[in-house]
Amino acid sequence: MTGALVAGLLAGYGIAMPVGAVGAYLVALTARTSLRTGACAALGVATADGVYALIAVVGGSALARVLEPVMVPLRWVSALVLIALAVRGGVAAIGEYREGRRAVRGDEAPVGPARAYVSLLGITLLNPMTVIYFTALVLGGGAMDAPGTLAQAVFVVAAFVASASWQLLLAGGGALLGKALTGSRGRLVTAMVSSALISALAVHLMVTARW
């Protein structure tokens, strides 16, 4: 269970930490409305991550049993997918840093807690990279060190908690934290940390793969 817990936390932080358009909007929304509204929006993002983690665990595990004869090559492919995601995130962050782009808009109309939750949930669910990320982890066999429903549940809950804690940190920081994390340098740092976490998971898949 410890492996599932740690893997879930790493996976959750890995997908949540890059401060992109959603994270920047979350901070700006909290700054101009209230902590309650920002917290609801943050939980909307985390809920989407948890849903995709659940889909990947349930569907990915079932598919893994069917693909058992080719699981070793699949682990390598999954590791390469994770590395590609890590590189993509890092390159995009460096490009944005060099161009000095900002993702925050300050002219959106304020929203209430319920609307904030639903809006951020929907926006995050539309991101296909999230489900690709979690599915690659599960199909690669690196998400859990023990099979079974309990390990799957631990992984999903841990991923949700990790994502929620980071999103709530963004919301709780409000305008002050927003300037630090959504500025060009802050976005670069968080994206590179996320890429490092994803790369570590990919390396773990490669090290544990056996021909």
Domain edges within the chain:
2-208
The pLDDT of 166-193, averaged and rounded, is 72
Within 8 A by CB and 6+ apart from 43, the residues are: 117, 164, 167, 168
| Distance between CA atoms of residues 25 and 38, nearest Å | 10
Model confidence at 164, pLDDT cuts 50, 70, 90, reads very high
Share of the chain above pLDDT 70, in %: 65
pLDDT at 182: 59
Rounded to an integer, what distance in angstroms lies between the CA atom of residue 28 and that of residue 105?
Answer: 8
pLDDT confidence band for 171 (50 / 70 / 90): confident
**What pTM was estimated for this model as a whole?**
0.66
- Mean pLDDT value of segment 180-186: 66
Q: pLDDT digits over 10-67, tens only?
A: 888 887 877 666 777 787 777 777 888 889 999 999 999 898 888 878 776 565 566 5
User: What distances in angstroms separate CA 205 from CA 72, 73, 78, 202, one per listed residue?
Assistant: 10, 11, 8, 5
What's the CA gap between 203 and 82, in Å, rounded? 9
pLDDT of 93-104, one tens digit each? Answer: 788 777 765 544
The CB density around residue 97, as the number of other CB atoms within 10 Å, is: 18
SS3 111: coil
Question: Which has the higher per-residue pLDDT, 52 or 78?
Answer: 52
